[in-house]
A and B are shown apart, each in its own frame.
Chain A
Amino acid sequence: MKRLNLAPWLFLTPFLFLFSLFTVWPLINSMFLSMQQTYGPGRTEWVGLHNFKFLLTDPLFWKATANTVKFAAGSLFIQLPVALGLALLLNRPALKGRAYFRLIFFAPSLVGMPFVAMLFAPIFARHTGLLNKTLNYFISGWPIDFAWTQNYVMSALIIAALWMSAGFNMVYFLAALQNVSRDLIEAAEIDGAGAWHKFWHITLPEILPIAGFVTLLSVIGSFQLFELSYIMLNDSAGPDNRGLTIVMYLYQTGFEAGDLGYASSIGWVLALMLITIALIQRRILKRHEEH
Chain B
Amino acid sequence: MIKALRENIDRFLSPGALVILSIAIVTTFIVASLPSKVVDGIPFWLTATAHKKAYVKLVAEWNEEKPEKKIGMTQLHSRALERRMLSGFLSGTPVADIIEANLGVVAKVFLGPVNEIGFVDLTDYVHDEGIYEQINEPSFAPYISRGHIFGLPHDVHPVLLAYRSDIVEAAGIDVSTIETWDDYFRVMRPLFRDRDGDGQPDHYLMTADDTRGDVAIMLILQAGGSIFDQNDKPNFASQRNAHVLAKLTTWIAGPNATCTDVPANTAAGHRQRLEGFVIGTLVPDWMAGSWKIENPGLSGKLKFMPVPAWEKGGRRTSVAGGTMIGIPKASENFETGWEFVKHLYLNPELARHMFENTSIISPVKTTWSQSFYDEPDPFFSGQPIGRMYIEQAPEVPHRPSSPYTAAGGQKISSSLIALAQYARANEVYDVESLEIEALRILQDAQASLERLISRNLFLVKEAE
User: Residues of A with Cβ closer than 8 Å to B?
Assistant: 37, 39-43, 45, 47, 54, 59, 122, 125-129, 144-145, 147, 150-151, 239-241, 256-259, 262
Known: A43-B112, A240-B413. A144 touches B457 (CB 8 A): no
Which A residues are CB-close (under 8 A) to B116? 39, 43
Chain B residue at minimum C-beta to C-beta distance from A51: B455
A147 and B457 form a contact (CB under 8 A):
no
Most chain B CB neighbours (cut-off 10 Å) among A40, A43, A47: A40
A41 to B89, CA, bound (A): 10
A144 to B201, CA, bound (A): 12
Chain B residue at minimum C-beta to C-beta distance from A238: B211
Q: What per-residue 1/0 map shows which CB atoms of B102-126 lie under 8 Å from chain A? A: 0000001001110010000000000
| Given A145-B260, A257-B108, 8 further pairs, Cβ under 8 A | A41-B90, A43-B112, A59-B448, A122-B266, A125-B266, A239-B213, A241-B410, A258-B90
Which A residues are CB-close (under 8 A) to B417? 239-240
A111 to B65, CA, bound (A): 52
B455 and A42 form a contact (CB under 8 A):
no
A81 to B85, CA, bound (A): 47
Which A residues are CB-close (under 8 A) to B113? 39
B268 and A151 form a contact (CB under 8 A):
no
Question: Which of A40, A129, A144 meets B200, CB within 8 Å?
Answer: A144
A125 to B209, CA, bound (A): 14
B268 and A128 form a contact (CB under 8 A):
yes
B108 and A256 form a contact (CB under 8 A):
yes
B53 lies within 8 A of chain A by Cβ: no
Which B residues are CB-close (under 8 A) to A151? 211
A42 to B88, CA, bound (A): 11
- How big is the B interface, by class? 20 to 34
A37 to B453, CA, bound (A): 13
B455 and A54 form a contact (CB under 8 A):
yes
Q: What per-residue 1/0 map shows which CB atoms of B85-98 lie under 8 Å from chain A? A: 01001111000000
Can you list 19 residue pairs at the A/B interface with Cβ under 8 Å? A39-B90, A39-B113, A39-B116, A43-B112, A43-B458, A45-B458, A122-B266, A122-B267, A122-B268, A125-B263, A126-B260, A129-B268, A144-B200, A147-B261, A240-B417, A256-B108, A258-B108, A258-B111, A262-B455
A222 to B220, CA, bound (A): 38
Give A262 Cβ to nearest chain B Cβ, in Å.
8
B268 and A257 form a contact (CB under 8 A):
no
Which B residues are CB-close (under 8 A) to A256? 108
A147 to B210, CA, bound (A): 11
Which A residues are CB-close (under 8 A) to B413? 239-240
B272 and A40 form a contact (CB under 8 A):
no
B357 lies within 8 A of chain A by Cβ: no
Give B330 Cβ to nearest chain A Cβ, in Å.
13
Which B residues are CB-close (under 8 A) to A126? 260-261
B91 and A42 form a contact (CB under 8 A):
yes
B414 and A241 form a contact (CB under 8 A):
yes
Q: What per-residue 1/0 map shows which CB atoms of B447-464 lie under 8 Å from chain A? A: 010000001111000000
A2 to B245, CA, bound (A): 83
Give B448 Cβ to nearest chain A Cβ, in Å.
7
Which B residues are CB-close (under 8 A) to A42? 90-92
Which A residues are CB-close (under 8 A) to B92? 42
Give B279 Cβ to nearest chain A Cβ, in Å.
15
A150 to B263, CA, bound (A): 11
Most chain B CB neighbours (cut-off 10 Å) among A45, A144, A151, A240: A240
Give B442 Cβ to nearest chain A Cβ, in Å.
14
Which B residues are CB-close (under 8 A) to A122? 266-268
B173 lies within 8 A of chain A by Cβ: no
Which B residues are CB-close (under 8 A) to A43? 90, 112, 116, 458
A127 and B210 form a contact (CB under 8 A):
no
Which A residues are CB-close (under 8 A) to B90? 39-43, 258
A241 to B261, CA, bound (A): 18
Which B residues are CB-close (under 8 A) to A239? 210-211, 213, 413-414, 417
Give A51 Cβ to nearest chain B Cβ, in Å.
9
Chain A residue at minimum C-beta to C-beta distance from B113: A39
Which B residues are CB-close (under 8 A) to A147? 211, 261
B418 lies within 8 A of chain A by Cβ: yes
A266 to B116, CA, bound (A): 27
Chain B residue at minimum C-beta to C-beta distance from A260: B90
Which B residues are CB-close (under 8 A) to A128? 268, 271-272
B380 lies within 8 A of chain A by Cβ: no
Question: Which of B91, B209, B418 meets A150, CB within 8 Å?
Answer: B209
Give A245 Cβ to nearest chain B Cβ, in Å.
16
Which B residues are CB-close (under 8 A) to A259? 455
B410 and A39 form a contact (CB under 8 A):
no
A258 to B109, CA, bound (A): 10
